[in-house]
Structure 1
Amino acid sequence: MESSKWTEEEIQKQLEKMPSVKDKRSRELIFHEIEGRLEESKLSKKTTRTWIMPGLATACLLAIILLLVPGTFIKNDVSAPSLHEKPKNNTLVRKEKDEVKEPSPAPEPKQSKKTVRVEEQKKPAAPERSVKPSGPAKPEPTADPPVQRYKVKVPEPSTASIMAAVESGKYHPPMTKTDLAEQMSAGKSVVTVAYSDEQAQFVVPVSFLVNGKGTYADKVQNVLGSFKPERVGLQPTMLNKAKLKEKEGAVVVDLPPGSVSSAEEALLPKILGYTFAYNHEYSNVKFMTGDQPGYKFSNLGPKEEMDITKNSGGANFLYTSPSGDEFLVDSNATSFAGSAGSMQAALDELSKGYKDQKLMPAVPEDIKLTASSSGALTTIRVEGNGLKNDEKTRKMMDALLMTAKNYGSQSVSVTNTNLEAIGPYDLEQPIDNLVGVNFMVVK
């Protein structure tokens, strides 16, 4: 680069020849403008500093969420199936997004419970794995506590204490009126259906709790179609082949031709009586064959109707089926025994039974029962030793109470047992009649 040809003196002279430049503004105006610019500069710096920390806080919070999210995506809890069945709550998601975007001067390095719940709703079905969040703060507990509130606990039926499972091979007791009242308040009713033993020597009435409306005949038809008696060692009857309906206050049994065997024919009045008259629903049965009045039986001949009001009663005994299930059976439900002439005679039979026909006594031989009646109340005095509040004595009580009911008692007072209670029975006050017999769950 070439050096300048101007000397300092020449430059000075040239500058002096230039016109003067002066600021025409006053000192106050210049000072005011400078002061305004300084304020603007301070405000700009302050605003920049205000957004630096929230911006960093938001970035840190998002980074922590990204670290913790994989743990919730792979978390699994089989006890809360409703989580993935319940639709996602959009309001909850929007609130969660707002919380993430909101600046915070001191972010906590832990995952919020709402975030855990939202992420678990997205995908709760993977195997559980714990993930430790980074940061000095103590990690948040696992999301199991909020999950527990979604657990669905199925309550046990209120009749579980008086009903045995079908496959259990245990005793099937009758029901108290208190238990029945609870079931009726829930819309249930009692249906009793008579089945036969494997040798067709007697019928075994089995009671069920059923839902829904309709006639008693309709409910019996539903039980016949859903319950399999073979599972508890009993045999189906001719009613499993029949069509049932109610007409003019009577039950109509429509049977296919030749569907009633000679063995069933001997038990026919008992099958019909324990099925349709045991709960005082019907007193008369009308027969039909293919929509035509009447049915021709092989031994009884043609019949159009039958009175079924006198086919229950007698002393009660214990029958154990081939499956191990235990049932109460009236002596009048058999083809070889009948009802005793009086309640005292029936109580005397309780300790004997018909062992050759597999009807065992429910009362020990060393126990003596004495009955006295006053109106509808029957008092039974028990003489003997060794009674305990156990299942064996419970069976004795059921047989005793069901026998007294068959002879017109509406309540029974049991004395001299040296026990305050046996099973569900309070012996310090009269016991109301039992309801149904051999209750069982339909499966």
Structure 2
Amino acid sequence: MEPIKWNDEKIEQHLKHLPPIRDRRSKQELFLKVQANINYKDNKWKRLPTWSLPALATACALVIFGVFAPDLMKNGVQMENSKVAQNSDKMEEKSLDGSADKDQNSAGIMKAEPSIAYHAPYLDKNLKAMKKDWVTVGYLDEQAQLVIPVSFLTDEDYYVNKVNKELKAFNPSDVGLTDSPLEKATITEEEETVVVDFPKDSINEAEEPLLQALISMTFANEGQKAKVELRMNGKNGYEFPRFGTVSEWNLQVPGAPHFRYDAPSTDSFIVSLFSTGVDADSIPKEFTDALEMMDDEQERGLQPLLPKNTVLGVNVISKDDVEITFPDSIKLSANDTEDLMMIDAILLTAESYGFESVKFNNTKLDSIGPYQLDEEIEGVTGSNFYQ
């Protein structure tokens, strides 16, 4: 069958043959339906009430967050992991650099590792610039094997007054030391004699062997006093457990090599061999011999500050002046505390043998600590200053 070809005329004729279509709704119903559609279209595009905006914004934000949150979290974790990886790389790089530096400068780093509180001596010119005086008081180590001289900056006063003041003010446990036996005594002076009056039985057997060295190192500084008179409860002579009754001692501090002593705290001191209580006759009589001892281990916790088998050149220019030449094997560092302690130990040893000035040669440094190494160093005063 051939398909019908539609045109306007045929469509019109076809529609005429269709049954009539009538809306059975009343006119009133049709009016209300049309009116409702018009009101709906007018209100549809009106602005929303103000109170509804926050709710709408929140709803929109939640929708957006729900859509993008997984990606954001994923990216955030990736960024954080990236930062951790970068920091880890930096730390590893720093560690590698530190290891390389340590390999290159192992000797210097190993020296600098211990964190110590070192109490250095002063130069007399620096004390004068500060308008300060000084005093030295002897204390004991924890085992009562050594006398540790500790110096203090003071105002000008009678020497015995300064000693009495520091005995009351200073707490030796702050630097790993124990009390001085002098704290038990009444100390006065009569011209060149210092009078030390102990209560009976106040000196124990551990303190007794070191008492003479302790009193000498306290009162014989720069010739302050020549003699100590001992009393017991106001009466002449003190009765010791082993020495018996002693009335007086001459105050002398012989020249002696100096060594390092590390207290149980972080404090380090430079101490004379005389601090061990040894007889003065067993100490080297010559400065050169004393220097030769200063690279050897000692008893009672004394440590050498010169490297083992070090030979220093010594040129005694006069009774007051000496030159010290370092061997090429010693490489000093201006920032190394142990190197400064080595210089101080040599200066204090030279001073104890009566030299007033020391000139160092071949140090390869212009200065270290307070010292200009291209000049003569003179006026080293006190030892182990505590502030």
Shift of 1:336: 5.1
Q: Return the match for 1:335 from 277, 287, 309.
A: 277
Alignment-derived partner of residue 347 in structure 1:
291
Q: Return the match for 1:365 from 308, 323, 344.
A: 308
CA 424–212 in structure 1, closer or farther in 2 if over 3 Å, else same = closer
Alignment partners' CA distance in 1, 2:310 and 2:230:
46
Alignment-derived partner of residue 322 in structure 2:
378
Q: Provide Cα deviations, 1:391-428, integer angstroms capped at 9, x if missing partner.
A: 22111100111111111111001001121112211111
Shift of 1:270: 0.3
Please, what TM-score do these two structures have when normalized by structure 1? Answer: 0.58
1:425 is aligned to 2:371: yes
What does 1:249-398 align with in structure 2 at a 5 Å threshold?
249-309=192-252, 311-335=253-277, 338-354=282-298, 356-365=299-308, 367-375=310-318, 376-383=320-327, 384-390=329-335, 391-398=337-344
Shift of 1:212: 5.1
Is contact 2:134-2:155 (8 Å) kept? Answer: no
Q: Provide Cα deviations, 1:109-145, integer angstroms capped at 9, x if missing partner.
A: xxxxxxxxxxxxxxxxxxxxxxxxxxxxxxxxxxxxx
1:405 is aligned to 2:348: no
Shift of 1:378: 0.2
Please, what TM-score do these two structures have when normalized by structure 2? Answer: 0.66
Indicate the structure whose relative CO is greater, using CA pairs within 8 Å and at least 6 residues apart.
2
SS state at 2:206 partner: helix
Alignment-derived partner of residue 149 in structure 2:
205
Is contact 2:213-2:277 (8 Å) kept? Answer: no
Alignment partners' CA distance in 1, 2:348 and 2:286:
14
Shift of 1:239: 0.4
How many aligned residue pairs are there?
Answer: 268
Q: Provide Cα deviations, 1:65-119, integer angstroms capped at 9, x if missing partner.
A: xxxxxxxxxxxxxxxxxxxxxxxxxxxxxxxxxxxxxxxxxxxxxxxxxxxxxxx
TM-align CA RMSD? 1.7
Alignment partners' CA distance in 1, 2:284 and 2:207:
24
What does 1:43-442 align with in structure 2 at a 5 Å threshold?
169-183=116-130, 185=131, 188-211=132-155, 213=157, 215-309=158-252, 311-335=253-277, 338-354=282-298, 356-365=299-308, 367-375=310-318, 376-383=320-327, 384-390=329-335, 391-441=337-387
Q: Provide Cα deviations, 1:339-398, integer angstroms capped at 9, x if missing partner.
A: 2231111111111131x5221111122642121111111011100232221222111100
Alignment partners' CA distance in 2, 1:416 and 1:343:
20
Alignment partners' CA distance in 2, 1:367 and 1:330:
19
Shift of 1:278: 2.2
CA 367–422 in structure 1, closer or farther in 2 if over 3 Å, else same = farther
Is contact 1:316-1:400 (8 Å) kept? Answer: yes
Question: In structure 2, what residue type is equivalent to 1:413?
Answer: K
The answer for unaligned runs of 5 or more in structure 2 is: 1-114
Deviates most, 361-370 or 271-280: 361-370
The answer for unaligned runs of 5 or more in structure 1 is: 1-167
Alignment-derived partner of residue 17 in structure 2:
none
Q: Provide Cα deviations, 1:34-82, integer angstroms capped at 9, x if missing partner.
A: xxxxxxxxxxxxxxxxxxxxxxxxxxxxxxxxxxxxxxxxxxxxxxxxx
Is contact 2:139-2:147 (8 Å) kept? Answer: yes
Runs of 4+ off more than 3 Å: 335-338
Identity %: 35
